[in-house]
Each structure stands twice: as structure tokens, then as C-alpha cells.
Amino acid sequence: TSKELVEKVNVELKRQVAYLSRKEIIEESLKNYGGAILVKDLKEAFDVSNYLAPEHLEVLVENPVNTLPSIKNAGSIFLGEYSPEPLGDYMSGTNHVSALGVYDFVKYSSYSYYPKEVLETFKDDVQTFAKSEGLDAHANSIAVRFEEE
């Protein structure tokens, strides 16, 4: 809902991508599939998200748990500033990958919500897992949440 925030995110994205080990892959992905959508309010944001049906959805708003009824089409949902997507890959068990079964034909979503104090207790473990897979952007998504402003 904020053009200023979109601009800040774009600047931060360029800053972080510059030092990531998979820089070329990330830049190509952003070029072909990246973008920001400026919306008038959160209702419109969830309408757009539900239309796009993302595999991963991070909801970074106050009281993110309250937004769950608005989310109709998303794979793994990560609620709040301290519930980044790598938690689903390495810790919380809300990963989008599973063997084919009856649930592949039924729509469902999983979600994660971690307060800062909880993520802080194992942030280094998540970063270690991510780095061991060569996914330093995943590790960085944890690290930047604990950088001093």
C-alpha cells in the first residue's frame, strides 16, 4: 500500500543480491518473474494474492494471525516478521514438498507464526541449514531480521 516501501524494498533487494552466491540465478529470476504490485489496501492485497495463489506467502503486518481468514489460495503461509520462509524449509515443518497423496487433490494451507524471541533461540540453526544447501539468501532472510538499525 506504500510506494515508498516498494522503493525501499527494491533498494534493499539490490543490496542483498549483490553479495549472494547465486546472484546470477536470482537476477534472472527477478528479471523474468519479479515485481511489486502497489495496492490501495490490505483487502486488495489479499485479493491479488489469492488470484496469484503463491507457493509461499509471507504476511508482514501487525496482528498477522488475524489475516488468515483473508487468505484463500496459498501453499505455505508465514505470519509475521519473525516467520520467514526458510523456517518452513528447515524447522517448522510447514514445507510445501510432500509425496503425492490424497491431499494433493484437496486444497489446504499451512502457516507459521514465530515471535522474535522464539526465532532468536534457533536463528543460527536455520542459517546453518540454509548455508549448507548453498542458499545464502535464505540464511540472510534470518540474519537481516536481527541486524541493528
Please give the backbone phi and psi of residue 78, each rounded to the nearest 5 degrees, phi first: -115, 115
Beta strands in the chain (DSSP E): 56-59, 76-79, 110-113
**Which amino acid is present at 28?**
E
Q: Report the alpha-carbon distance of residue 138 to residue 119 in Å, rounded.
A: 14
Beta strands in 35-138 (DSSP E): 56-59, 76-79, 110-113
Of 27, 56, 81, 120, the active-site residue reads: 56
Please indicate whether residue 138 is annotated as part of the active site.
no
Please indicate whether residue 55 is annotated as part of the active site.
yes
Of 12, 24, 55, 133, the active-site residue reads: 55
In the structure grid, which three cell numbers stand for residue 47, read together? 485479493
Q: Angle at Cα 77 formed by Cα 3 and Cα 42, nearest 5°?
A: 35
Enumerate the active-site residues.
Answer: 55-56
